[in-house]
């Protein structure tokens, strides 16, 4: 009974998210936006929707590994009667969660392996859709900012990491810096100089954050790293300021 719940809960969650959010498409070769090899190794479970004569049934599977640029390797899912009827070159829809995104692509079965255990090689996808799983859509901004790492009392405080905020919500922000100084799990404070009112002096806020993601971006000028930050314990003042800046950015986009 427990096995059945584990198999189907990822499917139900993915179906729920698909109804709530809009997909964005990226090229699988677009380095910095999506690196599927490294990303895929961190995925716990995926959902497969094979194109079979019995209908569009979905099945939970476990990723095994990947051959970069060639194939993604997954365990062969089974139904109550045994192995699913699959064949080489058959089309398959693949979906999985990675950090704050639901990733989706359509591909073909590259090869089927039966020994020592049945598993599937899926062709490396040409196009991947990413659905952002968050309650509030990110708003694009351009705000000077600096990140100060949280350290223990005996450690010397490092110099702030200089950069800028690229996108913003009350839940978190995207922080760009030319410096490769932050790792996933780092905690600290992000100092932002923002203008809730363009006719007044800038306001500085310094909310606590945690680094949830990091991506090297080579296409930007200058190149650097984008860090996904999650806010924690926002004060009412900080939240009000962030909403004000988001509102300004949205209004500018309409003009």
Report the range of poorest mean pLDDT among 80-94, 113-127, 156-170. 80-94
Q: Which has more confidence, 210 or 25?
A: 210
DSSP string over 181-201 = ---TT-EEEEEEEE-SSTTS-
Q: How would residue 21 be classed by pLDDT, with cut points 50, 70 and 90?
A: low
Q: Which has more confidence, 129 or 190?
A: 190
User: What would the pLDDT profile of 47-63 be if each residue is shown by its tens digit?
Assistant: 898 876 656 688 888 88
Give the pLDDT of residue 80.
53
pLDDT averaged over every residue in the chain:
79
- pLDDT higher than 70, residue 33: no
Q: How would residue 76 be classed by pLDDT, with cut points 50, 70 and 90?
A: confident
Largest CA distance in the chain: 70
Give the pLDDT of residue 2.
30
Going by CATH, does the domain composed of 139-254 fall within 2.40.10.220?
yes
Give the pLDDT of residue 3.
33
User: What would the pLDDT profile of 102-131 be if each residue is shown by its tens digit?
Assistant: 888 999 999 999 888 889 999 998 888 877
C-alpha–C-alpha distance, residues 7 and 51, integer Å = 19
Domain segments of the chain as ranges: 2-132, 139-254
- pLDDT higher than 50, residue 6: no
Q: How would residue 29 be classed by pLDDT, with cut points 50, 70 and 90?
A: low
Range 2-132: architecture per CATH: Roll (2.30)
Phi, psi of 138 (to 5 degrees): -70, 145
DSSP string over 82-100 = EE----TT-EEEEEEEETT
Q: How would residue 203 be classed by pLDDT, with cut points 50, 70 and 90?
A: confident
Alpha helices in the chain (DSSP H): 2-20, 36-40, 236-254
Give the pLDDT of residue 50.
87
Radius of gyration over alpha carbons of the chain, in Å? Answer: 22
- Return the structure tokens found at 222: 């200058």
Give the pLDDT of residue 97.
81
> At which residue do the structure tokens 């390797």 appear?
73
- pLDDT higher than 80, residue 93: yes
Give the pLDDT of residue 44.
81
User: What would the pLDDT profile of 135-150 be if each residue is shown by its tens digit?
Assistant: 666 788 888 999 999 8
- pLDDT higher than 90, residue 85: no
- pLDDT higher than 50, residue 4: no
């Amino acid at each position: 009974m427990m096995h059945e719940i584990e198999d189907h809960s990822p499917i139900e969650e993915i179906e729920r998210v698909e109804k709530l959010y809009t997909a964005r498409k990226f090229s699988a070769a677009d380095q910095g936006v999506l690196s599927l090899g490294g990303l895929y190794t961190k995925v716990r479970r995926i959902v497969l929707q094979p194109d079979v004569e019995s209908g569009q049934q979905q099945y939970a599977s476990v990723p095994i590994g990947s051959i970069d640029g060639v194939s993604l390797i997954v365990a062969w899912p089974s139904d109550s009667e045994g192995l699913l009827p699959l064949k080489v070159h058959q089309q398959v829809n693949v979906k999985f969660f990675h950090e704050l995104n639901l990733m989706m692509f359509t591909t073909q079965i590259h090869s089927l392996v039966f020994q020592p255990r049945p598993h599937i090689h899926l062709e490396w996808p040409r196009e991947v859709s990413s659905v952002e799983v968050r309650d509030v859509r990110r708003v694009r901004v351009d705000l000077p900012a600096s990140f100060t790492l949280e350290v223990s009392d005996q450690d010397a405080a490092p110099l702030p990491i200089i950069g800028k905020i690229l996108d913003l919500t009350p839940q978190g922000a995207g922080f760009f810096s030319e410096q490769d100084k932050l790792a996933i799990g780092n905690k600290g404070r992000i100092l932002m100089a923002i203008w809730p009112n363009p006719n007044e002096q800038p306001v500085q806020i310094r909310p606590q954050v945690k680094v949830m993601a990091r991506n090297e971006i080579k296409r930007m000028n200058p190149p650097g790293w984008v860090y996904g930050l999650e806010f924690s314990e926002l004060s009412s003042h900080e939240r009000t300021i962030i909403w004000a800046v988001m509102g300004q950015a949205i209004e500018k986009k309409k003009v």
